[in-house]
Structure formats: structure tokens, C-alpha cells
Structure 1
Amino acid sequence: MSFLLRWLFAFLLLAATWNPTVWNWTRAAQVHWNDVPSIITLTGLLLVAGYVIYLRATVRSIGLGGAVFILAFFAALLWVATDFGLISLTDPGLLAWLGLFAGSLVLGIGMSWSIIRRAISGQVDTDDVEE
């Protein structure tokens, strides 16, 4: 359950920043900057804080190589799904949502990797402590 919540928050973070609909921060910032710049700035800073938390945890736990592997695995799944005619990648909106899903998987797995690794291997990750 904890992984699902971390993944869901990552998906909401990415989708709130940008998605192919008109309901996203990027569109709101473009349209409403002159009306409510303080709200746009505040919500933008909240999004940045979410990204800092997720990206820092992801880089520390799975690194760039792990993120690339997760994206490659997701791309291979899409390739198989298109080869078998399960999905068509001609719709730009679908491609955008799949990109958001893939990105949220990277962030969700990165945020949860220490817990997943401990459950699988019994090994515990610790932070570096400088003295």
C-alpha cells in the first residue's frame, strides 16, 4: 500500500505540473499570470518542493542507471503491446499520459526502493552520516 501512495503522489505531481488537458499548472501559469501571480508562484514553489523530495530520493536510491532501466523496461512493454495490437501509439494525448505514467513509475519506485529492497533482501539502506 505504501508504494501505491508514493506512486500516486508522483503521478499527481507530474500531472499537476503538466498534462494534455487544460487542467495543469503550466497552463494556469500562462493564462493567469497577470491576474494572480502570487498564487502561481506559491503553487509553483510547492511543486518544486515535491520534485526536490522525489528527485533526491530517486537519485540516491536507484540513480540515473536505475531510472533509465525502468524507462527502458516500460518502453519494451509498450513495444510488446503495440506489436500485439493492444494499443496504438498514434494518439498524442495517449503518448503524453503514458509518459506521465512512466515518469511517475520512476519517481514512485525511486522513492520506495529502500523499502522494496529491504522486503526482498533483508538489507537495510542508511544515509551517509558525516562527523
Structure 2
Amino acid sequence: MRQRNRKFGLPGRWTAGGVCATVRADTTAATDEVDHMGMFLRWLCAFVLLALTYNPTPWNFTRWAAEHWNSHTSVTVLLGLLLAVAYIIYLRATLRSIGAFGMLLILAIVAALLWVLYDFGLLTLRKSNENIWLGVFALSLVLGIGLSWSHVRRRLSGQADMDDVDE
């Protein structure tokens, strides 16, 4: 029978200092499953990031920064830097996970899907606002899939990326 940590109920031996090094005993089963909610949340965060940066409504950073640059320069720079950090995190993870070719491939698949929807009359491209939202959606798919791909690949192949291995 496995010993449990009295304080937290985690697998491991109880010592005066807390949990010993055997705490990771039951963590592999949870990481083997593809976390659909996690994938959705990664995509949703990418969508929000892109929509905050630019969208067809007046509520986006690009329009706000253009209108308020003279009166709120410091806030504009701060928000721009925060957005840049978020983009660096997403783009770096996406490029490491699927690479530039993978990004282009996902965009090509989304473009082909939009083409099919247009050919069947399910999509019209006459309204520029809808086209902008489609672009935001397509780019968010690229970033969301790129951020989630390591998890999917680990589940499909059983192999972890070098970045996934604990030190």
C-alpha cells in the first residue's frame, strides 16, 4: 500500500520536512490524456489576444492607441509592451511546436475550409467586418493549435518533447 502525505493527501512519504521525492507517482495518467478544455482555453486566449489587438469594433488596442497616443503615451507603451510579451510567448511556443511550415499548413487548411464554405454558399465575403473576424479566427486557430500541439503529439506518439522532460 502506498503511503500518503498526511497534509495534502499526495502520494509520497511523510517526513519532518514534508513530501519526499516520490510525489510524482500518479501524475503520468493525467498527462497522457488530451485535455480538450485546455486546448479550448489556449485557443480562446489566442483569440482574445488577437481581438484585443485588432478587430472591426472600436474596442481594440490599435484604434485606442492611435486615438490616445498624445494624451496617454505611457499607458499606450505599457499596454503595447504587455501585448508584445503575450505575442512572443504564443509565437515562440507555436514556432517550437509546429514551426513555420506547420503554421502555413494550418492557415492553408483554414483557407481551404473557408473556400469550401464560400463555394457551397454558406459564407459570403462581402462584409469587411466579417472578413476581419474570419482573419482573427484563422490566426487564433494557428496560435491555439501551435500551443496545444505538443500535448496532442505526446498523446498520439507516446513521446515527449525535449521541453516537456522534467529537469
Task: Please classify the TM superposition score into its range, dividing by the shorter chain length.
Answer: over 0.9
Shift of 1:121: 1.8
Percent identity at matched positions?
Answer: 60
Shift of 1:122: 1.3
Instruction: Look up the equivalent residue of 2:78 and give its one-letter code.
Output: L
The residue that corresponds to 1:22 in the other structure is: 58
SS at match of 2:162: coil
- 1:65-115 CA distances to partner (integer Å, 9 max, x unpaired)? 100110000011111101111110111111110000000000011111100
**Structure showing greater relative contact order (alpha-carbon pairs closer than 8 Å, 6 or more residues apart):** 1
User: Which ranges of structure 1 fall in alignment gaps of 5 or more residues?
Assistant: none
Instruction: Look up the equivalent residue of 1:83 and give its one-letter code.
Output: D
Match of 2:139 among 103, 110, 123: 103
TM-score (norm 2): 0.74
Decide which moves more: 98-107 or 116-125: 116-125
TM-align CA RMSD = 0.8
**Residue 4 of structure 1 pairs with residue 40 of structure 2:** yes
CA distance in 2, matches of 1:107, 1:48: 14
**Residue 113 of structure 1 pairs with residue 158 of structure 2:** no
Structure 1 segment 14-93 matched on structure 2, within 5 A = 14-93=50-129
CA distance in 2, matches of 1:108, 1:44: 21
**Residue 123 of structure 1 pairs with residue 166 of structure 2:** no
Shift of 1:57: 0.5
CA distance in 2, matches of 1:35, 1:63: 40
Decide which moves more: 34-43 or 59-68: 34-43
SS at match of 1:6: helix
Shift of 1:116: 1.0
Instruction: Look up the equivalent residue of 2:56 and give its one-letter code.
Output: P
Shift of 1:36: 1.1
User: Which ranges of structure 2 fall in alignment gaps of 5 or more residues?
Assistant: 1-36
Shift of 1:39: 1.0
The residue that corresponds to 2:13 in the other structure is: none
SS at match of 1:46: helix
Instruction: Look up the equivalent residue of 2:162 and give its one-letter code.
Output: T
CA distance in 2, matches of 1:50, 1:106: 15
May I ask how many residue pairs the two structures share in their alignment? 127
